[in-house]
Amino acid sequence: MVSSPHEALHRIFRVDPGLFARLLPRAGIGFPEHTAIEPLDTDLTEIRPLERRVDSVFRVHVPGEEGGFVLAVESQGKPDPDKHNSWTYYLAHMYAKYRLPPFLLVVCKDKATAAWASEPIRVGRGFHTSMVVFPLVLGPGILPVITEPDEAARDLGVAVFSALAYASDPGLTAILDALASGVAGDAGKSGSGNVDRVDWAEIVEIGLGEGPGREYWRNLMATYTPNFPGSNSIVEESWLDGRAKGQSEGKAEGKAEAVLHVLKARGIEISGSVRERVTECTDLEALETWLGRSLSVTRAEELFAEE
């Protein structure tokens, strides 16, 4: 079954098609000047009862070139040899259907999958190669990590994709910290293109999937943007109510609740003494340290190990 994180990793380009031109060069992949990028039908089914659907397909219009080219985007969660058959089929079918050069972009969330997806797909035997497919790949180890709030604020679309790509990285908290600060700093204007910061925040929540990372992001949103808008949105839930009673005090309270939320989400038992120590702490630096540890400790008391 297709998961929400899987969908978020390729649907982000439907939300902001211009992201291709801003993101691919960061991975050392050139992208031509273009006049427009439009989504196409993802159904590549033939008359025969065999359904084949690519995750997302776009037509890129290039000045001076009639028709432009077609770009297929596949979100890949793990190595799967069967995908090689599907990907070669997608490209051949799109070439026949649109009469335009097709390209394949694979987006991944772990280094092993990204390395596997980067390998050329060779069709043929030892005496002759009939076809070679060279996928373009975006993922951990290929894209730079964004941990500076100023850089995140300059292009929220790029920063959001970076956060989703590094969702399994041990340094995720630093990435989300920078992104949250960028989203909060962008409160008076839209994000990239016509995408609002609320939309970016929701894409991050969906893309992170269930687990400590999502809990951490939710509490960051409560801390940085206590009046976070969005009626009935994914982000606006009961845990947002009553947060932030003043900037400094609100940040400490939000960080403390984030520590407890992450521990609870991971099934870590929280004693009364640990809860009291966390909730009564007003030292933002200490709370930040505990929040980072909350993602990996096996006992709540380990939050204070060095102390």
Does the pLDDT of residue 189 top 70, yes or no? no
Same structural domain for residues 54 and 172? no
Same structural domain for residues 209 and 256? yes
Q: pTM, whole model, 2 decimals?
A: 0.65
Q: What is the mean pLDDT of residues 145-156?
A: 88
Rounded percentage of the chain residues whose pLDDT exceeds 70: 80
Residue 283, domain member (yes or no): yes
Same structural domain for residues 225 and 79? no
Same structural domain for residues 159 and 286? yes
Q: What is the mean pLDDT of residues 98-115?
A: 92
Q: Match 């709540």 to its residue by tokens.
A: 300
Does the pLDDT of residue 230 top 60, yes or no? no
Same structural domain for residues 212 and 267? yes
**Could you tell me how many helices (H) and strands (E) the chain has, helices first?**
12, 7
Residue 277, domain member (yes or no): yes
Enclosing domain of residue 186: 149-304
Q: What is the pLDDT of residue 219?
A: 81
How many domains in the chain?
A: 2
Q: What is the DSSP letter of 244?
A: -
Residue 276, domain member (yes or no): yes
Residue 299, domain member (yes or no): yes
Residue 144, domain member (yes or no): no
Same structural domain for residues 246 and 175? yes
Q: Are 158 and 16 in contact (CB under 8 A)?
A: no
Same structural domain for residues 206 and 298? yes
Same structural domain for residues 128 and 211? no
Kindly list the strands in the beta sheet with 56-61, ordered across the sheet, starting from the edge strand earlier in the chain.
36-40, 56-61, 69-76, 102-108, 136-138
- Domain boundary at 107, 138, 169, which? 138
Q: Are 102 and 40 in contact (CB under 8 A)?
A: no
Same structural domain for residues 101 and 160? no
Lowest mean pLDDT among 49-63, 121-135, 218-232: 218-232
Residues 6+ apart with CB under 8 A from 259: 278, 287, 290, 291, 294, 303
Does the pLDDT of residue 235 top 80, yes or no? no
Q: What is the pLDDT of residue 112?
A: 92
- Give the Cα separation of 305 and 216 in Å (integer): 21
- Domain boundary at 138, 164, 199, which? 138
pLDDT tens column, 246-284: 445 556 777 787 788 778 767 788 888 888 899 888 888
Same structural domain for residues 154 and 283? yes
pLDDT band at 113 (very low <50, low <70, confident <90, very high): very high
Same structural domain for residues 129 and 160? no
Does the pLDDT of residue 6 top 80, yes or no? no
Residue 250, domain member (yes or no): yes
Does the pLDDT of residue 242 top 80, yes or no? no
Residue 48, domain member (yes or no): yes
- Domain boundary at 110, 138, 166, which? 138
Residue 143, domain member (yes or no): no
Same structural domain for residues 172 and 262? yes
